[in-house]
Structure 1
Amino acid sequence: MAGNHGTIKGASNFNADAEAQKLRKAMKGLGTDEDAIIEVLVHTNLSQRQQIKMVYKSTIGRDLIGDLKSELSGNFEKVVVGLMTPITLYDVEELKRAMKGAGTDEGCLIEILASRTNEEIRRINETYRHQYGTNLEEDIVSDTSSMFRRVLVSLATGNRDESHHVDPDLARQDAECLYKAGEERWGTDEVQFMTILCTRNRTHLLRVFDDYRVIANKDITESIKSEMSGDLEDALLAIVKCMRNRSAYFAERLYKSMKGLGTDDDTLIRVMVSRCEIDMIEIKAEFKRAYGKSLYSFIKGDTSGDYRKILLALCGGED
């Protein structure tokens, strides 16, 4: 999953055995050398970390994840274990966590399902089944309700049109459908919103949003905010934002996780870990453009200890 737009790159002179020994040394004896662990993890990519994990077991005879969990705690442990987890499995574990026990982390479900590609969603479904012996869709159905549930189930099929084809007449028709389903009627036809926003391709939807503005004399997001509420509103807004600019959507998720009293650690960690090798460079740029401060300075002012150190390293610098 590593791309050219991540802040974390692979080590050029990579030696899995040497890195495994560094990690063992960092955890051996009294106390733990957190800086040494950070050093290894942020100077290797996910693929290299999987090699380290295998070599650690074969040469040291111990389970690396088990050792890390026994030596670390709290948010620092969450980030470290997240960085050691294959990206699809990480998404799967986050989805499961969001639905486990009392209460549901709706924001997590929306974020992952609205922002991943069809191929990523298909891999998530396969891994989820393999990992937990149940279908993701079944768990979503049992944990959510009403139209919000239907939107999540639709996104979880991974069946969005991913072509770049735009039919101007259909785009205009879709825009009119959305207007008639919301602004022009008493009550809202939520199914129309779901059908169009969850199935059409990105290029087509961008045209629909432009046409909608002309017809309704307001942005589609304003209509969603006035017509919907709660989790359904959040889900549909997330879809629109991801279609327009996915990096800006993640930048907003990071900003909201840190602004105000207290930090939403789960969201902050998930976005930093899951995007650091994919598009963190763009996310940082969008963050600075939208909020006038660097992501680095926000994290520095909002977190503490080794947790802060590793998140700052994932930022890839202050710019």
Structure 2
Amino acid sequence: MSYQGYGQQPYGQPPQGYGQYPPPQQGQYPPQQGHYPPPQGQYPPQQGQYPPPQQGGYYQQPPPGQYPPQQAPYGQPPPQQYGAPPPHSPQPYGAPPGQYGAPPPQQGGYYGAPPPAPYGAPPAQAAPPTPPSLGYGAPQIIQWDGTQDAQALRGAMKGFGTDEKVLINILSRKDPLQIEVLRTAFERQFKRSLVEDIKKETRSWFEYGLVQLARGPLMADVHNLYDAMSGPGTKEIVLNDILLSRSNADLHAIKSAYQRTFRRSLESDVKGELSFKTERMFLIVLAANRAEDSAPVIPQQVEQDVMSIYKATEGKVGTDEILVCSIFANRNDNQIRAIAHTYKQKFNRSLESVIDGEFSGHMKEALLFQLLHAVDKYMHAAMLLEDSMAGLGTKDHLLISRVVRFHWDRQELANVKGAYQQRYKKSLTSRIRGETSGDYRTLMVACVGE
């Protein structure tokens, strides 16, 4: 897929037509790092270079007083340069997303890294592991007391009637660590389950959204996976959303929580729900042997992967699906992006079109998910949100789970909203308003920060 890029004002100058996109310039590609629009570099890169790791996105500074919070003033020194040490910790929840183009919590290795050391040389140090997403790591003690909010939630659901506004205002504004503290405080103080009380006091998609929030990101993933594989049929799209393109740390957390909650392994449930080759693909994913985000892109490995994919697809009669699935499951986003770029250069055909023509069904959808996420994760997220609202009827369970998933990381959400605006020429909020109603609408709009 291709996007038309945009030009950039000289550094330190006010944006052209504040709040609007400047006119496009021929041949530029949406940024993978730095400010948006891109301040330097064009796509495709020069021969022998790879597209840079995705670090920035589409976040545009809003007028004062609007969400997301304002960034640092335009014209300040540029953000941390690519290749500098990664930030020490993620942005606090609700904090300003920071100068546009600041790196997300995960950092990729540099492109064009040197090949492996000669035979007999000391082994290279393993890439440091990608840290778990907020809410997926070990329990943390935070300086926040959930007692007052727990009391407000109980008051909103006690007696006759429910104060929906209180539920929305409290639950939509907490980060994953605060949600955990709040849920524990509610259960300790009132000897009741917050999730079960919400289920009793609310209905329909409004209930579904509140429950997703109250469970927090990890337990929402666990329950959504279980529900997707319960009853007749399997909601494969839910498995894609939750399991694909995740860090090893997050996958280990999901598997552990699933086992703890349902006393059964996630792998065994997946085995019983998917067809043979797709089952093997997801078991490779669940093995959590993906290259860490800090692992470099090595040109020799990229060339080898490109030729392996070609020989497994276009270069033979039939398709070696499992070989392609193994490459996509075990490479990080930077490496997959380099593979896609090199494949296009070498064979003058996009890797997306190869997958579309050589695969079918759930496996095709899963491979395209991994590819598009690696090429531009913010645009891919915007497309997932639009897909949940496009066509006849809204796929409400997908819209809710995706909105809630992206809302946990406000930096990511700001970029997804910018990507959505660029692609569909309307705001994500206005699109959601048109597809939802009542308290359900109010909750979704609150989650996207309006």
Normalising by structure 2, report the TM-score. 0.66
Q: Distance in 1 between matches of 2:303 and 2:92?
A: 34
SS of match in other structure, 1:84: helix
Residue from 161, 164, 178 that aligns with 1:48: 178
Q: Please identify which structure carries the higher helix content.
A: 1
Q: Which residue does 2:353 correspond to in 1?
A: 222
Match runs of 1:161-240 below 5 Å: 161-162=291-292, 163-240=294-371
Instruction: Flag as ranges the 4+ runs of structure 1 deviating above 4 A.
Output: 5-9
Q: Distance in 1 between matches of 2:255 and 2:436?
A: 33
Contact residue 194 and residue 214 of structure 2 kept, 8 A: no
Q: Distance in 1 between matches of 2:201 and 2:183?
A: 16
Which has the larger displacement, 31-40 or 166-175?
A: 166-175
Aligned length: 314
> Percent sequence identity over matched residues?
33
Which has the larger displacement, 282-291 or 231-240?
A: 282-291
Match runs of 1:226-265 below 5 Å: 226-265=357-396
Contact residue 6 and residue 276 of structure 1 kept, 8 A: no
Q: Which residue does 1:117 correspond to in 2?
A: 247
Contact residue 288 and residue 295 of structure 1 kept, 8 A: yes
Q: Distance in 1 between matches of 2:247 and 2:189?
A: 38
Contact residue 115 and residue 242 of structure 1 kept, 8 A: yes
- Structure 1: gaps spanning 5 or more residues: none
- Structure 2: gaps spanning 5 or more residues: 1-88, 97-142
Contact residue 287 and residue 293 of structure 1 kept, 8 A: yes
More RCO (CA 8 Å, sep 6+): 1
Indicate yes or no: 2:413 matched with 1:280.
yes
The Cα RMSD (Å) is: 2.1
Residue from 112, 115, 136 that aligns with 2:266: 136
In the TM superposition, what whole-angstrom CA distance separates every residue of 1:74-120 from its partner, at most 9, and x where no partner exists? 11111111111132121111111111110100001112111321100
Kindly tell me: are residues 6 and 230 of structure 1, through their superposed partners in 2, closer, same or farther at Cα, counting changes over 3 Å?
farther
> How many angstroms does 1:6 deviate by?
6.5
Indicate yes or no: 2:234 matched with 1:101.
no
Letter in 2 for 1:310: L
Kindly tell me: are residues 168 and 53 of structure 1, through their superposed partners in 2, closer, same or farther at Cα, counting changes over 3 Å?
closer
Residue from 427, 440, 448 that aligns with 1:294: 427
Residue from 305, 308, 315 that aligns with 2:448: 315
Kindly tell me: are residues 55 and 168 of structure 1, through their superposed partners in 2, closer, same or farther at Cα, counting changes over 3 Å?
closer
> How many angstroms does 1:21 deviate by?
2.1
Letter in 2 for 1:206: R
> How many angstroms does 1:14 deviate by?
5.8
Contact residue 172 and residue 211 of structure 1 kept, 8 A: yes
Kindly tell me: are residues 173 and 45 of structure 1, through their superposed partners in 2, closer, same or farther at Cα, counting changes over 3 Å?
closer
Q: Distance in 2 between matches of 1:219 and 1:65?
A: 46
Normalising by structure 1, report the TM-score. 0.92
Contact residue 8 and residue 314 of structure 1 kept, 8 A: no
> How many angstroms does 1:3 deviate by?
4.7
